[in-house]
Amino acid sequence: MRTEILKKFRDEETYMRDEIREKIQKNSKATYQEIFGKLLVSISIIIILLIVSAIFGFIFSKGIATFTENNAQVKDFFTGTNWNPSMNEKGHPQVGALPMILGSFGVTLLAAIFVTPFAIGTALYITELASKKMKKILQIVIELLVGIPSVVYGFIGLNVVVPFIRENFGGTGYGILAGAVVLFVMILPTVTSLTVDSLKAVPKHYRSASLALGATPWQTMFHVTLKAATSGILTAIVFGMARAFGEALAVQMVIGNASLMPTSLLNPASTLTSVLTMGIGNTVMGTVGNNALWSLALVLLAILVVFTLTLSSTAVIRVELSTMLSCK
């Protein structure tokens, strides 16, 4: 009798041990969800990489056709000032892209110069001086400015900015100055929002320590808060410049679209994006003119990649500085 009880107990113990081992070894619902999540993320990353690689490869293959098939010189492309792909000079098409490159940089840099003091001033007011009600109102205004289509900005620039420049500064009104003013209004909410985030990220004890040492609120803002948020503000400005550099429609409506060397802020000029948007639909695939436009697109893509890498590097530096300051 005792032997049978011990045997029954051992059988039950063995059964429970096997059941526990089976439950442990069996994949649970959470395990399947984890596997599915990893698989979904991996597929998404692969698809994104394939799409980006295909875009880069397509633009690169089309962009170099000007030099490999149409015998254009790389030096003439980046230093030439004559843009007339249909005309040949000694067997080489006239594809001087320097006026468009300088026009793009001129409009972008001038817009950045305009937007920097306004964005910093607005961000300081929002984070340091404004009441809660005023902060909400300004936040709504900034969001509304972000949501306005670029064609609306271009139309306002065409009917307000261009006539104003013509009447007060002379010329036709079209040019780099008009394009910079329109871009200034377009990138102002973006740069302001990022600057606000940078100022909010400054630790509060920085301000408290400055005030405790006898500094006034204005001295604290300019000598403590702004210096601590410098890297974030620079990131905001570079991000705004990247958006301004790639803007096409609004700039095209007010810059004049003349493929000439920009000698004055008031003379008509052109940018990479304006020439692309005007010419890409009026050329035949595979012709010299079409290949030249793809070369401009390749240059534009390369410049935007540089902007993106600059943003990434400044973000990394910002994180490292924040880590060092928090450790201290």
Tens of pLDDT along 130-148? 888 888 888 888 888 888 8
Query: What CATH number does residue 291 fall under?
Result: 1.10.3720.10
Tens of pLDDT along 5-50? 555 556 566 656 666 666 655 656 667 777 888 889 999 999 999 9
Top-confidence range, 46-55, 92-101, 250-259: 46-55
- Mapped onto helix, strand or coil, the DSSP state of residue 328 is coil
Tens of pLDDT along 55-66? 999 989 888 888
Tens of pLDDT along 197-209? 888 888 888 888 8
Number of neighbouring beta carbons within 10 Å of residue 12: 10
- Distance, in Å, from the CA atom of 116 to the CA atom of 130, rounded to the nearest integer, reads 20
Query: How much is the pLDDT for 281?
Result: 78
Residue 233 forms part of a structural domain: yes
The total number of structural domains that make up the chain: 1
Q: What is the DSSP string of 125-177?
A: IIIII--HHHHHHHHHHHHHHHHS-HHHHHHHIIIIIHHHHHHHH-S-S-SHH
Residue of 119, 319, 325, 324 lying closest to 209 (CA atoms): 325
Residue 91 forms part of a structural domain: no
Q: What is the DSSP string of 8-30?
A: HHHHHHHHHHHHHHHHHHS--HH
- Dihedral through CA 218, CA 224, CA 225, CA 227, nearest 10? 120
277 burial class (0-12, 13-18, 19+ CB within 10 angstroms)? middle
> For residue 142, what are the contacts with CB-CB under 8 A and spacing of at least 6?
189, 192, 193
Q: Domain of 153? A: 98-327
Residue 165 forms part of a structural domain: yes
Tens of pLDDT along 271-281? 888 888 888 77
Please give the C-alpha separations between residue 9 and each of 3, 6, 15, 20, 326, in angstroms, as whole numbers: 10, 5, 10, 16, 61
N- to C-terminal Cα distance for the chain?
75
Q: What percent of the chain has pLDDT over 70?
A: 84
Residue 218 forms part of a structural domain: yes
- Distance, in Å, from the CA atom of 192 to the CA atom of 240, rounded to the nearest integer, reads 9
- Distance, in Å, from the CA atom of 279 to the CA atom of 248, rounded to the nearest integer, reads 12
Residue in the block written with tokens 């700039």: 251
Computed on alpha carbons and rounded to an integer, the radius of gyration of the chain in Å comes to 30
Residue 34 forms part of a structural domain: no
Residue 38 forms part of a structural domain: no
Note the helical H segments in the chain. Answer: 2-25, 29-63, 65-68, 74-79, 98-124, 132-147, 150-156, 162-169, 176-200, 204-212, 217-220, 226-228, 230-246, 249-254, 272-279, 288-327
Instruction: Give the model's confidence band at 112: pLDDT under 50 very low, under 70 low, under 90 confident, else very high.
Output: very high
Whether pLDDT at 79 is above 90: no
- Distance, in Å, from the CA atom of 251 to the CA atom of 186, rounded to the nearest integer, reads 11
- Distance, in Å, from the CA atom of 182 to the CA atom of 111, rounded to the nearest integer, reads 8
Whether pLDDT at 218 is above 90: no
Whether pLDDT at 254 is above 80: yes
- Distance, in Å, from the CA atom of 120 to the CA atom of 66, rounded to the nearest integer, reads 43
Q: Which pTM was predicted?
A: 0.79
Residue 296 forms part of a structural domain: yes
Residue of 300, 240, 250 lying closest to 60 (CA atoms): 300
